[in-house]
Structure 1
Amino acid sequence: MPDRTSGARSELAGRTALVTGAARGIGAAVVRALAAEGAHVVATDRTTDGIEPATEAARAAGGAVSARAVDVTDRAAVEEAVAAAERDHGPLDILVNVAGILRPGPAAQLTDEDWAATFAVNTTGVLHTCRAAAARMSARGSGSIVTVGSNAAGIPRTGMAAYAASKAAAAMYTKCLGLELARSGVRCNIVAPGSTDTAMQRALWTDEEAPRRVIDGDPATYRTGIPLGRIAAPEDIAEAVLFLVSDRARHITMQELYVDGGATLR
C-alpha cells in the first residue's frame, strides 16, 4: 500500500472534497488519503469534537483539512455545509458518503425506532448529501460521488436486516443518480466493504475468538469466511475510494466495488 504519511502529493491538487462520517474508522482514513493527494477536505461528522483528533494526522502530514459538524439527517444543515464548502474552498469536486450506523437485531423483532434511525442516516443521509452536491456538480459538468456501502447490501446477514436494507437502498440510489448524471460528466460509484477493523465491527465481537470466526466463517450465522485470511483495515477501503474519485477511474460510473477479501465469493 502506498505510504500516505510522507507529505501531500498532487493527484487531487486543487480539488475540494467533502467526507461524511469522518470522525473515525473508514471516514477518517478517507480524509487522510484524500488530503495526502492534495485535496482540501471538509471533514464532517455529528460533532467537531470527534473530527478534530481524526484529522490531526492529515494536517501533520501537510494535508489541508477543515472540520465541520453536520448531521446528515438534517437536510438544511447538509445544504448549508455544501454551500459553505464551496464558498470557503471552491467548487466541490468530490463527495464521499461514509456516515452510517448499525443497530443489530433479529429482522422480525426490529423496532420502528431502530429501523427509522438506520434509514435516516444510512439512506436518507446519502440522499441529502448527494442532492446538494449533484446540483452543483452537474451544472459544472464534472464531479465524483462515492457512497461507502457494505457487502451486506448484496448478501443476507443474520441480525443485520435494517443495516443491510439501508445500505442496499443507498447503493441503488447512488447507481440511479449516476445514470441520470452521466451525460453531465458526474460519476457515481459505491465501495462495499466487508468486515473492517472499526469501532462498529468491534462492537459486534462478544469474545476474543470473534475475529477468528469472522476470518474462518461461522456456520451458525450462515457466514462464509474471508478467503484472503484477514480483516480489512480502514485504509484498504480508503484506497478503493481514492481510486474511484481519481482521474484513473474517469470511465467508471454506476459500479459497486466489493472490498471484502472475497467474503461474498464475488
Structure 2
Amino acid sequence: MTLNNPLFSLEGKTALVTGSSRGLGQAIAVGLAGAGARVVLNGVNADRLEEAAGAMRALGHAVEVEAFDVTDEAAVVAAFERLDDADRPIDILVNNAGIQLRKPLIELKAEEWRRVIDTNLTSAFFVGREAAKRMIPRGYGKIVNIGSLMSAFARPTVAPYTAAKGGIKLLTQSMAAEWAEYGIQANAIGPGYMLTDMNEALTSNPQFDSWVKGRTPSRRWGKPEELVGAAVFLASAASDYVNGQILYVDGGMSAVL
C-alpha cells in the first residue's frame, strides 16, 4: 500500500539501502518499499539478505539483493556496474551500513580505528560517489546518509564512531555543495538511541537504560520503524528543496542540555 499524497510517493523509484539485512537499514528498506519504491538490499551476508528479502516479498514488496562489501572500493564499483548492466538505475541511496566499537581512546589500535571509519564514513563516500556519477547525467537523485546523535555530540569510549558520524554530517554537506545543481538532494538522518542489535549491550544495562530514558524528553528508546517517516520524506519529492541537512530523530535528546 502506498501513501495517498503524491509528494511522498516513491512509485517508479529504485532505492539502494546499504546494511539493510537487519536493524535500522531493514526498517528503512521496508518503509521505502511501503511508499512504492523497488528496494535493493545490501549487506555482506548473502543468506541473511535473502532471508530479509523473502520477508519483504511476502508483504508484496518489490525487492532485489546486492551482496557486496561497502568498504571495498572495487566491490562497490563492480556492484554499480552490475546494476548498470541490468538497467537498474538507483534513484535513491540510503547509506546506512555501520558498526560500533566501544573502547577507551588510549586503548584503540590503528586497525580498530580504521575499521570503524571505513565502515561508517568511507563507505558512504564510495557508494555515494558511484551513485552520483549516474544520478548527475539523469539530473535526479536522493541521497540519505545515516548519521547519529554522535554527529554533533560525543560520549566516552566511542571515539571512532563519533568521528565517523561527525564526518557523515560534513560529507552530506559536501555532497549538497557539489551536486545540488544537478538535481540531487543529499541529506542525513541522525537517529538517537534506538532499540537495535547494535545497542543490545546498552539496553540490557540498567544504569545506561535509566540514563537514556532520563536524558531523553520522550522518556524512552526509539524504535527502528520511527525512522521511516524521515527517510520517506528525504527520499521523496516532498524534500526537493531540502539539501545538506541532518534531521535528528532522537525523541528530543539533542534539544535539551
Deviations 1:34-73 (A, max 9, x none): 1112211110001112222223332122110111211001
Paired letter, 2:16: L
Q: Secondary structure at the match of 1:14?
A: coil
Is structure 2 residue 38 aligned with structure 1 residue 40?
A: yes
Q: 1:35 to 1:209 in 2, by over 3 A?
A: same
Partner of residue 220, structure 2: 230
Unaligned runs of 5+ residues in structure 1 are 1-6, 217-224
- Report whether the alignment pairs 1:246 with 2:236: yes
1:68-79 matches, within 5 Å, as 68-79=66-77
Q: CA RMSD in A?
A: 1.6
Match among 149, 164, 167 for residue 166 of structure 1: 164
TM-score, with length taken from structure 2: 0.93
Instruction: Provide the rounded CA distance (Å) in 1 between the counterparts of 2:29 and 2:83.
Output: 15
Paired amino acid for 1:195: Y
Is contact 1:192–1:257 with CA below 8 Å preserved after alignment? Answer: yes
Q: What SS does the aligned partner of 1:72 have? A: coil
What letter is aligned with 1:199?
D
Aligned to 1:157: 155
Q: CA deviation at 1:84?
A: 2.3
Aligned residues: 252
Report what 1:140 is aligned to: 138
- Aligned with 1:20 (options 18, 21, 43): 18
Cα-to-partner distance string for 1:93-121 (whole Å, 9 max, x where unaligned) = 00000000101111222111110100111
Alpha-carbon distance, 1:8 to partner: 4.8
Q: 1:99 aligns with which of 97, 100, 119?
A: 97
- Consecutive unaligned residues in structure 2, runs of 5 or more: none
Q: Whose helix fraction is larger, Structure 1's or Structure 2's?
A: 2
d(CA) in 1 for partners of 2:66 and 2:46?
6
CA shift for structure 1 position 158: 1.1
Identity %: 38
CA deviations 1:209-230 (Å, max 9, x no partner) are 54233211xxxxxxxx110112
Letter in 1 for 2:72: D
1:156-204 deviation line (CA, Å, top 9, x unaligned): 1111111000111122112101111011110100101010010011133
Letter in 1 for 2:199: Q
Corresponding residue for residue 256 of structure 1: 246
Deviation of 1:238 after TM superposition, in Å, equals 2.5
CA separation of 1:38/1:89 partners in 2, compared to 1, >3 Å: closer, same or farther?
A: farther
What SS does structure 1 have at the residue aligned with 2:222?
Answer: coil
